[in-house]
């Protein structure tokens, strides 16, 4: 896996947050997604610190997006949780990998890095939401055919 489990959980949670600005409790998100509640709550707090989410305590509180989902990129989420240098460095872990002393995977990794970076800056949370809706409809269609 290229990124941490936390980043995957964050993207899944962001994809199911309502677009209408209502707050969602971390425990409800964790239940819906089948994710560990305390761990997800900690991840969501990290996204609050990165100004991707807003949080309010209390019975009518929870988490919500700070701006429309089409204005939050996957790259922002990755940077918030993995750090700004998430894709930097040698894929094989060599400290001196570079143009003068490339590792065997240097050129291939450079091409992959460029593609991944481009995709992450273009893909938004709205794109993930639309994919999630398609997956839900496909699952519902399969369930109705089986039933």
> If 0-12 CB within 10 Å is exposed, 13-18 middle and 19+ buried, where does residue 132 land?
middle
Domain interval for residue 126: 5-146
Q: Which residue from 88, 68, 76, 27 is spatially nearest to 47, judged by alpha carbons?
A: 76
Domain count, the chain: 1
Task: Name the DSSP class of 55.
Answer: E
**Res. 85 pLDDT band, cuts 50 70 90:** confident
CATH of the domain at 26: 1.10.10.10
Q: Model pTM? A: 0.82
- pLDDT for 135 equals 67
Q: pLDDT tens for residues 12-67?
A: 999 999 989 899 999 999 999 999 999 999 999 999 999 999 999 987 889 999 99
CA 23, CA 43: separation in Å to the nearest integer?
16
**Res. 143 pLDDT band, cuts 50 70 90:** low
């Amino acid at each position: 896996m290229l990124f941490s489990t936390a980043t995957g959980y964050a993207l899944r949670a962001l994809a199911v947050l309502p677009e209408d600005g209502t707050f969602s409790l971390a425990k409800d998100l964790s239940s819906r997604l089948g994710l560990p509640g305390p761990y997800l709550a900690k991840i969501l707090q990290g996204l609050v610190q990165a100004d991707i989410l807003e949080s309010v305590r209390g019975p009518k509180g929870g988490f919500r997006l700070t701006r429309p989902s089409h204005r939050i990129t996957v790259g922002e989420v990755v940077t918030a949780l993995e750090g700004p240098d998430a894709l930097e460095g040698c894929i094989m872990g060599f400290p001196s990998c570079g143009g003068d002393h490339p590792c065997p995977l240097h050129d291939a990794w450079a091409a992959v890095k460029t593609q991944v970076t481009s995709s992450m800056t273009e893909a938004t949370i709205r794109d993930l939401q639309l994919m999630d809706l398609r997956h839900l409809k496909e699952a519902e269609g399969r369930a109705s055919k089986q039933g």
